[in-house]
Amino acid sequence: MAENSEKPELLSRRLIFRNPERSVVRISPDGTRIAFLAPVDGVLNLWFAPIADLGKARNVTAVTDRGLGPWVVWMHDNRHVVFFRQQGGDENWRAWRVNLQTDDVRPLTPGPGVTCFVQQISRHFPSELLIGHNERDKRFFDIYRVDVATGESALVEANDGFTGYFTDQRFNVRYAVRHAENGDVERLERKDGGDWNVFVSIGADDAMATRPIEFSDDGRELYWLDSRGRDTAAVVAQDLESGAMQVLAEDPRADFTNLLLDPVTQHPIAAAATFERTRWQVLDTDYKEDFEYLMRRSPGDLAITSMSQDRRNWIVAYLHDNAPLEYFHYDCDAQQARRLFSSIPALEDAPLVTMEPTLIRSRDGLELVCYLSRPRTARPGTRLPMALLVHGGPWTRDVWGLHPNHQWLANRGYAVLSVNYRGSTGFGKAFVNAANMEWAGKMHDDLIDAVDWAITVGIADPARVAIMGTSYGGYSALVGVTFTPEKFACAVDLVGISNLVTFLNTIPDYWMPWKSVWKVRMGDYTTEAGKRFLEERSPLNYANRIVRPLLIGQGVNDVRVKASESEQIVAAMRQHGIPVTYVSYPDEGHGLGRPENRCSFAAVAEAFLAAHLGGRREPVGNDFKDATIEFRVGRELVGRFHDSNHKLSETVRPEKWHAKPVCRDFRNAVVRIGFMESVV
């Protein structure tokens, strides 16, 4: 694609893939301060500021290796904030706390090699919380009561076989959770300290969309997101004395996935469901005018990130598709929202593109919610090279908003299509269950149908479509070049599964209690017939079919999809004499967390795209500086590098591709290496 004066300026990869300037913004229970993540020398650290004077913001941590985890927890004493760290992407999250009066920082959970999560916080115990961690047995999470002021902890519940526990505002362990072999999820109740008895069993068909959210503060009600007796998950209140269930909100097209609770009573205030865009339904009429005002305040999708204990001060955020996330302080008494800042101010005036929600019908009649981005200068009737971005999970979904990969690729001249294929969550249980046993089957058909739609309506050039993704999306990329070997011009796989059997044999220990999920939805790994089926759906076993260029990226410390998944398909391709480029990162895990590494991978992928799909590219510049990228195989296929920083030269050598006569060019693209900040 030739450059011309109509083309928008090239957006810098360092701008697109940088860490946000402000993220994970949370208000203190007393409503006077906010805590948030912001960079210190480019690394995300914990900051806090008076809500009335953001100019007094200061950092209270100064980590230098990699950013803090995306969770910030205010304690109800208004003095302590809890945050999380991992090492090298190993997902062994350790909880720490900072005393905002003294700046004293100390760990709350053991390490290394131990991971944890916050089980419960409560206004009734301002300086305490329940934390689950797996120090004693890596398979199971014990529950500890932790005093954040002193760091002392006491064992509350030793776990010898459950997936987890459900607790209440008084720190009582109310239910144990167990995954049965048939995929059902059992919630068990212990009466008078005796044996655990089944309180309720959620069938496998409902298990993905049905879960309890919280008890009311008085313990009389339990609030659910619940698909039992319907297709989509409704908001349901259960009277625990009578067992009666009351539906508070439901939507025939989408699951309710977010429930906002009153900070004192824990009663539901409002709930959100997302089909194409997010829609809120107010459940407590006292808040009706607040939500009406907030939804008028901005055309973006509304998120409520936190609320003060007196309900008077909120932090809200608006997601946009062509502008950075915006944070506001909402004064409930005055019914006024004051803009605080955006997540990435440098993008506010950038030439960003819109994201078009698009409904595509699958060959067997399912409605696929997709999102399409096009270059700003795309001319009607002109076919474009296209990037098909496949989300991970697979039990998650793509949403409308500002996505780094969409902006980056559209800026370079590509149409970009994200597809919520069957198995994606949020669209009802029938849609999720339609993916059972369909890895590399109908799930892949949905992707092909979406590509064919883009070709049929004149958006995509059929000879220039790339498939790319991370995790399950990486698996899909490998499926693309093995099960439909000539459909895509190229594929890029980041931390993707190459063999479903070896993947299941190497999952983290703490995934073991719910391993039956894979049995029901992927294939029965416990039988010989099931194992054969899983092998049939594994790209590794069809590596000899690959006739399109492939780029593979891997974090060495990945605990979910081990590096062996990438290494074994690289070895198989080399055994068959098929060229492949394989890069790895010794300080990364399941994806690329450090912005320097994201930029380096994007620089390599962009050179692939420019040379072989025809889009624009930015000179590499210093995008390899401070990255830990290592070319393990196929560096010569990408292009010529020089000096100690591995700077990519302007020369790319597609003629090096010579695997099969069907494909004489080397068109490559990038996976979803960007990230969208979680604000809820």
Active site residues: 471, 558, 590
E strand or H helix that includes residue 51: none
Cα gap 421→368, rounded to integer Å: 6
Structure tokens belonging to residue 457: 């309506």
Decide: helix, strand or coil at residue 123.
coil
Q: Is the peptide bond before 394 cis (omega within 30 degrees of 0)?
A: yes
Residue closest to 550 by CA, chosen among 652, 668, 471:
668
Q: Fill in the amino acid letter for 321.
A: D
Q: Fill in the amino acid letter for 413.
A: G
Residue closest to 237 by CA, chosen among 228, 247, 251:
247
> What is the C-alpha radius of gyration for the chain, rounded to an integer number of angstroms?
25
Structure tokens belonging to residue 142: 């014990």
E strand or H helix that includes residue 399: none
Mode of pairing for the β-strands spanning 221-226 and 128-133: unpaired
Residue closest to 318 by CA, chosen among 282, 260, 278, 286:
278
Handedness of CA 63, 65, 70, 75 (dihedral sign): negative
CB 226 within 8 A of CB 236: yes
Q: Starting at the edge strand that comes first in sequence, how are the strands of the sheet with 43-50 ordered? A: 23-27, 33-40, 43-50, 58-59
Decide: helix, strand or coil at residue 607.
helix
